[in-house]
């Protein structure tokens, strides 16, 4: 580990405990449908959103998906299981970390995965969310879209990264990420290429905004079909080489865990009031305690690797 990386790791601990407070517990908030846009920054959402509602910001309890899920669903102080919630999960971390917490999980990271784009497309999430509403009309829904999280769905950067793998792996192996991606032996994370100076910031931000535009188009269609009170938010944000403050003398890329700086933990909170609230039921011990086989567990890890996670 080089000196810069060591300092970055040390400063992440500083930010975890002192920057921006602890954030909200999403289960304390009032909603029937919680739509999560993965890695969605508040400032860019505010610029691009056209969905009617009351917009404000919240502070997330995590700067990556795993931390968000652990904080909200394993460290929630009031209870440990959420048997009034059905989770439509584009992100495989849900099954990896909190598979025994909800009434049911739609594992879109598995059967909704698109090999060509290397992610779960937003249209598949809409389809399964509407099915979940019909089947579980007395439950709260968490609907987790993978966008604007990379990989890019369209444009020249989508051709570069058919799927995404952990940037640290390329560094450990001493490989050139662009060359390896071209060979087809290893895909690469856009934030890593940006950090290495192999991509321009404006191009990466443009790809991110296009991902968000596509996600919002699907979300807008979905919102019109959902009953009850809907909130659109994010699990965490994204960084493009910002220097967040004088306490952090390095630039931040992507969404490293436990780095609680503003671009990573300030998330949108858009409230859309329905005509009436849904009647929610919660039965005792009514949760799906799925146990994954070694083969299924390996598939979860493979999906996470392709999205850039360890």
Instruction: Encode pLDDT of 223-238 as tens digits.
Output: 999 999 999 999 999 9
Q: Hey, where are the domains in the chain?
A: 3-148+226-283
Taking 80 as the threshold, does the pLDDT of residue 55 lie above it? yes
pTM: 0.84
The pLDDT tens digits of the residues spanning 28-43 come to 999 999 999 999 999 9
What gap in Å lies between CA 83 and CA 148, rounded to an integer? Answer: 29
Q: What is the mean pLDDT of residues 14-38?
A: 81
Measured distance between the N- and C-terminal CA atoms of the chain, rounded to whole angstroms: 17
H helical segments located in 27-164? 42-48, 65-73, 93-97, 108-111, 122-135, 156-160
């Amino acid at each position: 580990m080089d000196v810069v990386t060591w300092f970055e790791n040390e400063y992440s601990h500083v930010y975890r405990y002192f920057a921006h407070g602890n954030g909200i517990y999403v289960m304390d908030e009032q909603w029937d449908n919680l739509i999560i846009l993965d890695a969605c920054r508040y400032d860019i959402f505010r610029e691009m959103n056209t969905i009617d509602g009351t917009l404000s910001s919240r502070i997330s309890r995590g700067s990556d998906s795993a931390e968000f899920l652990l904080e909200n669903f394993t460290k929630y102080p009031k209870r440990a299981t959420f048997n009034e919630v059905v989770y439509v999960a584009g992100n495989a971390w849900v099954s990896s970390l909190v598979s025994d917490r909800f009434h049911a999980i739609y594992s879109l990271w598995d059967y909704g995965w698109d090999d060509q784009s290397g992610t779960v497309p937003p249209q598949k999430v809409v389809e399964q969310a509407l099915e979940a509403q019909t089947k579980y009309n007395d439950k709260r829904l968490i609907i987790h879209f993978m966008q604007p999280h990379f990989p890019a769905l369209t444009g020249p950067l989508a051709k570069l990264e058919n799927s995404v793998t952990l940037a640290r792996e390329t560094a450990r192996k001493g490989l050139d990420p662009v060359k390896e991606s071209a060979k087809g032996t290893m895909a690469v994370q856009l934030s890593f290429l940006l950090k290495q100076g192999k991509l321009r910031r404006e191009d990466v931000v443009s790809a991110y905004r296009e991902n968000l535009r596509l996600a919002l188009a699907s979300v807008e269609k979905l919102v019109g079909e959902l009953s009850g009170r809907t909130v659109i938010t994010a699990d965490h944000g994204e960084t493009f080489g910002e220097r967040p403050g004088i306490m952090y003398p390095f630039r931040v890329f992507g969404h490293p865990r436990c780095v609680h700086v503003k671009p990573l933990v300030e998330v949108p909170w858009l409230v859309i009031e329905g005509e009436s609230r849904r009647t929610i039921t919660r039965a005792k011990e009514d949760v799906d305690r799925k146990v994954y086989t070694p083969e299924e567990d390996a598939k979860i890890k493979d999906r996470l690797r392709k999205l850039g996670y360890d």
